[in-house]
Amino acid sequence: MSLLLAALLGYVLGAVPFGLIIGRLTKGIDLREYGSHRTGATNALRTLGTGAAAAVFLLDVAKGVAAVLLARLLLAGDPLVEWAAAIAGFAAIVGHNWSIFIRFTGGRGVATTTGALGAMSLWTIVILAPIVAVIVWRSRYVSLGSVVGAIAAPIITAMLAGVGAASVAAIAYALASGLLVTVAHADNIGRLRAGTERKIGQKEAVGTRG
């Protein structure tokens, strides 16, 4: 029951569609009608601008952090608490990508994955963030940095676990979330291979609220 509670908690938190909400508030638009048709920060950057995209990113990160921390709080003392936290974090990604509030649409889960992973294994993010940043900076592809980060996260977390700096539950979370994020980027991977993926900085023309 504790693991089921963690999953439900994580899903509901993750399902809050901040990208859609901010799109409505700032430009009066449905973010799903533009660009990649996703509700995450990358599509928000193309359609809403830097400030709104930063807000979407931070709020989506917060969903992952909140899922893990609330699971730990509610199940404090339970021997499965770290596994419950991992399940809550993973469920938050599922909620973000397939939100019950917006007909099971959403984003690709990168920011929410990052937040939950930071709460599970902060050192993984400390090591991984500069690597991803350099890849995005050099290639100008957010999707490439996201996929590389998703693949590298469980490797880094396992190495940290080897020196006592991460838990087995964190490794499992990093592996499961990394697979989910990679699968969510299947269309991006296809465009990267074809050389047609959009680079960071390319804007999407949208109308403003009248």
Residue-wise pLDDT tens digits, 93-105: 999 999 999 999 9
The single-letter code of the amino acid at 25 is L
Q: What average pLDDT score do residues 186-190 get?
A: 96
In this prediction, residue 204 carries a pLDDT of 66
pLDDT at 206 over 80: no
In this prediction, residue 130 carries a pLDDT of 97
Half-sphere exposure of 43 (CA within 13 A, CB side): 23
Half-sphere exposure of 33 (CA within 13 A, CB side): 10
Q: Count of CB atoms within 10 A of residue 202's CB?
A: 10
Q: Are 102 and 17 in contact (CB under 8 A)?
A: yes
User: How far apart are the C-alpha atoms of 194 and 47, rounded to whole Å?
Assistant: 24
CA 129, 130, 136 angle in degrees (round to 5)? 90
The structure's pTM equals 0.93
DSSP assignment of 97-133: HSBGGGTTB---SHHHHHHHHHHH-HHHHHHHHHHHH
